């Protein structure tokens, strides 16, 4: 984008009112949907203030979608799976938003997950919307932007939200904490039954799907499914009313995705009937509040002028062993509070 184009876009955003954003999203305008999410993601204090006003207006129009978190080991085929799954849901009459929790690379500063080219067919569908949630290196940033983007997408009429993670770090727990259903994709015949995935990830899974079960992989997929069922037996389910199933599927050949969706809708029905879904979403709002507070406090702390004057010096002293981390924190807190 050229400087002139960027300036032109900034002028357009500046001319838009609160009503323009709200009515644009509710009408399903893709242009206004994108602009609203850009406003939500902005770190500009003026943009954040307007974004919160927009979200407050959109909140009553949200909350009716299936919120599904999806993770898996590298190479499991998440993108291929999500594309086939999303296209199937659209063919059944749903509108699908894919939100990729995208922890920005700490080396290059670029996105790890990439862009829509990973889901070329799905991105061409009018009923689909694909958006990464860049974190700028902080999980709190992911939590803030993804949660608020979910509200915007639901208000725009998307009734299935697929929240994808890279399958590394703590993003899985964060995504589980903002979705109704957490799906873990696994590979057939890739070694021991946990395949390097942390036990904690399986503990929060609502279903395990052994992907790539086509052709010669069928037998290995069946064996892997037995291993995962055995692993789940020693873990406490997330709900007393739901025992996480293990299914086999192939995103590449569109095998088993219909059964997988049936399980997800069955889970949604049970959780709704027992009241667990409503309770979970209330708890998620409380967690969201605390995540937001932590994010805002860290931003305020780092931007404090007295902290900024000392932080490099304090870090250097800690690195060289002249100052303990505990004393370093005390000095920085004193600077922040003075």
| Percent of the chain clearing pLDDT 70 (strictly above) | 83
Q: Model-level pTM?
A: 0.85
> What pLDDT band is residue 110 in, cutting at 50, 70 and 90?
very low
Closest CA to 86 of 72, 76, 100: 100
The answer to whether residue 22 scores a pLDDT higher than 50 is yes
Superfamily of domain 62-274 in the CATH hierarchy? P-loop containing nucleotide triphosphate hydrolases (3.40.50.300)
pLDDT at 178 over 80: yes
| pLDDT class of 193 with cuts at 50, 70, 90 | very low
- Kindly tell me if the per-residue pLDDT of 43 is higher than 70: yes
**pLDDT score, position 72:** 87
pLDDT in tens, 111-155: 444 555 578 899 999 999 999 766 555 554 466 788 999 999 999
Q: What is the pLDDT of residues 263-308, one digit of tens each?
A: 999 999 999 999 999 999 999 999 888 888 888 898 889 889 999 8
pLDDT at 75: 84
Domain formed by 1-61, architecture: Up-down Bundle (1.20)
Kindly tell me if the per-residue pLDDT of 195 is higher than 70. Answer: no
Tokens 């689909």 belong to residue: 128
User: So what's the pLDDT on residue 14?
Assistant: 63
pLDDT at 118: 73
- Domain map of the chain by residue range? 1-61, 62-274, 287-337
Long-range contacts of 56-63 (CB under 8 A, 24+ apart): 57/18, 57/22, 58/22, 58/25, 58/26, 58/151, 58/152, 58/155, 59/151, 59/155, 61/26, 61/154, 61/155, 62/150, 62/151, 62/154, 62/155, 63/154, 63/281
């Amino acid at each position: 984008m050229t400087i002139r184009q960027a300036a032109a876009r900034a002028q357009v955003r500046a001319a838009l009112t609160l009503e323009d954003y709200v009515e644009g999203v509710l009408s399903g305008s893709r242009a206004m949907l994108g602009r609203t999410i850009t406003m939500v993601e902005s770190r500009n204090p003026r943009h954040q203030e307007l974004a919160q006003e927009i979200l407050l207006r959109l909140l009553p129009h949200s909350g009716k979608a299936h919120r599904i978190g999806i993770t898996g080991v590298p190479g499991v085929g998440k993108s291929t799976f999500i594309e086939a799954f999303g296209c199937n849901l659209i063919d059944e009459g749903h509108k699908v938003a894919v939100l990729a929790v995208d922890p920005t690379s700490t080396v290059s500063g670029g996105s790890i997950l990439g862009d829509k080219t990973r889901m070329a067919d799905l991105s061409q569908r009018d009923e689909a919307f694909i958006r990464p949630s860049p974190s700028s290196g902080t999980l709190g940033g992911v939590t803030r932007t993804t949660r608020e983007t979910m509200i915007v997408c639901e208000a725009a009429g998307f009734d299935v939200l697929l929240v994808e993670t890279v399958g590394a770090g703590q993003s899985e727990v964060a995504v589980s904490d903002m979705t109704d259903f957490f799906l873990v994709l696994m590979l057939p015949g890739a070694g021991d039954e946990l395949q390097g995935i942390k036990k904690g990830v399986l503990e929060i899974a609502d279903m395990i799907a052994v992907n790539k079960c086509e052709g010669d992989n069928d037998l290995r997929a069946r064996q892997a499914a037995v291993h995962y069922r055995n692993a789940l037996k020693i873990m406490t389910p997330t709900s007393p009313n739901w025992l996480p199933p293990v299914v086999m599927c192939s995103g590449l050949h569109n095998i088993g995705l219909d059964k997988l969706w049936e399980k997800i809708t069955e889970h949604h029905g049970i959780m709704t009937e027992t009241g667990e879904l409503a309770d979970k979403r209330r708890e998620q709002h409380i967690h969201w509040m605390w995540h937001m507070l932590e994010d805002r406090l860290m931003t305020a702390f780092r931007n404090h002028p007295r902290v900024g004057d000392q932080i490099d010096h304090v870090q250097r002293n800690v690195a060289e062993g002249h100052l303990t981390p505990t004393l370093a924190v005390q000095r920085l807190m004193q600077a922040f509070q003075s």
